[in-house]
Amino acid sequence: MGNRIALTGNEAVALGMKQIAPDVVAAYPITPQTEVVQIFSQYVADGDVDTEFVTVESEHSAMSAALGASAAGARAMTATSSNGLELMFEVVNITASLRLPIVMPIVNRAITGPINIHCDHSDVMTIRDSSWILLFGENAQEAYDNLLMANRIAEHSDILLPVAVNMDGFIISHAVENIEIVEDEVVKEFVGDYYPEKYLLDAANPITMGPVDLQDYLFEHKRQQIEAIKKVSGVVRQVSQEFAELTGRHYDLFEEYRLDDAEVALIAIGSTAGTAKAAIDNLREQGIKVGLLKIRLYRPFPAKEIVEALKGVKTIGVMDRAESYSNTGGPLYADIRAAMYDVGGTAQVMNIVYGIGGRDMTVRDLENLITQLQKVTETGEIEERIIHYGVRD
Amino acid sequence: MGDSVKKPGWKDIPIGGRIEDAGNSQKYYVGGWRTRRPVWIKENCIHCLFCWVACPDAAIVVEDGKIQGFDYDHCKGCGICARECPAKSPAIQMRSENIEDQFDS
Ligand code: SF4
Ligand code: SF4
């Protein structure tokens, strides 16, 4: 099924958007996401897709236009990176609160200050408490596949929350890969048409969206959001199952790689997971029992399932491509530590903050790191629980 | 908490704060926002309905094409009606809320 073609992550995502053919795309270019918008707008200009493409003057307007379109009843998308996400932040939160199932690829890039255009996860981590559903891919194939599944998850009647499809800036967005593309008609059928139950242009059933919501009701509306969030894992699994039947490509909430008998486990998000697999294969040959847990669904956080998968692991290295400036490590570390608390146990959990501003994390780096974690497993001694890996003293 | 009327819980209200029954703002008392109120001087009124057109709320009460007065549950006291009134002797005067009784009687 499908064709194999060489595409960059950005090209794959733009192609996926064309195949989904949303009613409205409103987007503003920002490195490294620019090509997504550029290529998609070319599809529109060439008549390859009949999406209404709105060229806006900023990301705040991009998300506002997507929100308006979605509220009106359209299937709406946008895409961004880094400071673009920060500029749209206000509306990002409102789309989730208004329960509008917008889909947005985020090409992850460091938040500027000082200026940096390269990959880390400091952008997306700022919306982790927004009730957006956050999916991550390890490579362009997964970014493409996650995109094709995103509308089904967002628009599910139990969910009705926006979904961000994340991929690492440059490392995935600009690297060419051999990708298996799903045929246009198959995508069309899988994604399906969008029929919102309530929308503003339904003149026969007029409604109001986004009115003032004070002490007497806001809490109840937030409780509804939590209820939807509780159901996300189930829906992600169900949609991924259908996708697997169609394509043979299997996805879950996270991927376990050589984790069954592992004593040392890395937990990683994004492209570093691929690098980690190579390092794990090398060290397995030397008899080190090491495995990987790769996060696909980061929000909501599948804490229970992750803890279950980590049973028997003695040392856990949580890889964060962002800091939280809390003196308690990166965001993923906080999530994992909190999850582990519920089960007690004796596993050592350490944090490796790495790759900030696009700093390379090579196979050798990861081998080195795994060796350090292995040493902790053997001696039980930890010098520093939170390591900023690769930073110069 | 402690409300005398029990409000519906999260399972029983539309998601996202949507209001799904049209026109229900009429049930909502917003007259308390006013610091000044328009007072109608019936004998000066020529029933041109300018005030009815200009009111940004829907607070001018009209029956059979004739002004009846104001809906003080919804009038915000913006004064636009008084400003737009073309009658030679003004048919709407804005009065301070705290002396309303003098003019209501
Ligand atoms: S004061 Fe303003 S709100 Fe009140 S009736 Fe006049 S125009 Fe309408
Ligand atoms: S604008 Fe003045 S004159 Fe005209 S209907 Fe209203 S109150 Fe009467």
ipTM of the complex: 0.90
Rounded to the nearest integer, the mean pLDDT of chain A is: 97
Which residue lies with its CA nearest to atom 4 of ligand 1? B75
Chain A residue with the nearest C-alpha to that of B16: A98
Does B17 sit within 8 Å of A210, measured CB to CB?
yes
Range in A152-161, A224-233, A366-375, B23-32 the model is least confident about: B23-32
Q: What average pLDDT does range A150-168 have in this prediction?
A: 98
Sign of CA pseudo-dihedral B36, B37, B42, B44:
positive
Which residue in the set A207, A216, A228 is minimally distant from B19, CB to CB? A207
Q: Beta partners for A80? A: A106
Residue B60 lies in a domain: yes
Find the distance separating the first CA and the last CA of chain A, reported in whole Å: 51
Q: How does residue A1 score in pLDDT terms, banded at 50, 70 and 90? A: low
Domains of chain A and any CATH numbers:
3-247 (3.40.50.970), 254-388 (3.40.50.920)
pLDDT of A3-35, one tens digit each? 999 999 999 999 999 999 999 999 999 999 999
Range of the domain at B62: 37-105
Q: What average pLDDT does range A71-79 have in this prediction?
A: 98
Does B20 sit within 8 Å of A217, measured CB to CB?
no
Pocket test for ligand 1, best of B29, B39, B53, B55 (most atoms within 8 A of CB): B55
Residue B22 lies in a domain: no
Residue A72 at interface with chain B, using a CB cutoff of 8 Å: no
Query: In 3D, which of A385, A132, A370, A152 has the Cα closest to residue A267?
Result: A370
Q: What is the pLDDT along chain B (105 residues), one digit of tens a residue?
A: 555 679 999 999 999 999 999 888 888 899 998 999 999 999 999 999 999 999 999 999 999 999 999 999 999 999 999 999 999 999 999 999 875 554 554
Query: In 3D, which of A299, A278, A281, A300 has the Cα closest to residue A289?
Result: A281
The whole model's pTM is what?
Answer: 0.92
| pLDDT higher than threshold 70 for residue A75 | yes
Q: Are A340 and A301 in contact (CB under 8 A)?
A: no
Residue B82 lies in a domain: yes
Which residues of A fall within a CB distance of 8 Å from B16?
97-100, 160, 209-210, 221, 224
Give the C-alpha distances (Å, rounded to integers) separating A268 from A80, A245, A366, B80: 22, 27, 11, 62
Name, in order, each residue with C-beta under 8 angstroms of A274's C-beta and a sequence gap of 6 or more. A138, A139
Residue B46 lies in a domain: yes
pLDDT of A192-205, one tens digit each? 999 999 999 999 99
Choose from B3, B15, B30 for mutation: most chain A CBs within 10 A.
B15
Q: What percent of chain A has pLDDT over 90?
A: 98
Residue B18 at interface with chain A, using a CB cutoff of 8 Å: yes
Give the C-alpha distances (Å, rounded to integers) separating A290 from A198, A263, A306: 50, 6, 16
Which domain CATH number covers B52?
A: 3.30.70.20
| pLDDT higher than threshold 50 for residue A82 | yes
Does A223 sit within 8 Å of B19, measured CB to CB?
no
Q: How far is B70 from chain A (nearest CA, A)?
A: 25
Domain count, chain B: 1
